[in-house]
Amino acid sequence: MKISSECAACVYLQLMRTLDHQKVNNPVPIQAQVMGHLASRWETLDNPGIAVYLMYEIAQKNTHETDPYREDKRTANTMAEAYWQQHPLLIDDLENRFLYAAAANIIDAGLGENTQRLFLQLDQAIQQGLARNDIQNFVQSIPASGKILYITDNAGEIVFDRELIRSLRHKGWHVSILVRHHPFLNDITRDDVNDMGLSMVADNVLDFGEDFTMWKLSDEDLQAWQKRYDGVIIKGIANLEALSHRNLPIPALFLYRAKCPPSARLARVEGNTNVAWLKE
């Protein structure tokens, strides 16, 4: 997803949420450092995800906190587990498990929203259904016993990703999940995998190493997916930003909550709706 005029305000909001969360007494020097660094590169950035990455890198170096969202992630995961226990779906109900996973992208633990309020909003999001629903087109493009790569996003929603993966496996597909190696905001990392039972559900758990972030994938890396997978499910806004404008060699289903105007425009939907968009 290419940078648009709305992205600057969003990056700044993310910065302020990060500094507020870490209780920085005087944020102005860090703000100045971030804005100066991004301003000098803004016109050359390939996508807004790079801007957020650079912002967080500077904030992290200044605050000396390697995993500031650790407890927020645990809280979100615990609440998501409780929500799933109260609102379970049959394992054959693939369509609604996709819906739950898309709607659960509303959970941004620690990023400016009260986590309990987010779970109340999750109920409302699920009731909306899918504003864009390309699920059947995607699953029909995957051969029986085919291989799917599932690119994960945030804590909390990972519970609903796990249950979707469980259903995909039940249908006969092989699913590998990709997680971050190191902490970044409230994203799922390899350290979270065992706690969430993901290693018992997915065929493989992958990460791309210490310095990996999605926008660093080369064209050659993406083309290599064609030899390993029959399709890919891509969760969340950050992964949408990094990959939606790239040439993907296999069917790619972007599963997310359209939280910003650019993400809504991509799928031709209204804002604050649930999306399962198959990139043609």
Q: Using one digit for the tens of pLDDT, what is the confidence trace for 152-192?
A: 999 999 999 999 999 999 999 999 999 988 888 889 998 88
pTM: 0.95
Percentage of residues in the chain with pLDDT exceeding 70? 96
CB atoms under 10 Å from CB of 213, counted, come to 19
Within 8 A by CB and 6+ apart from 215, the residues are 46, 47, 49, 50, 53, 241, 242
3-state secondary structure of 217: coil
**162 and 201 in contact (C-beta within 8 Å)?**
yes
Query: If you ran DSSP here, which 8-state letter would residue 109 be given?
Result: B
Range scoring the smallest mean pLDDT among 202-206, 215-219, 237-241: 215-219
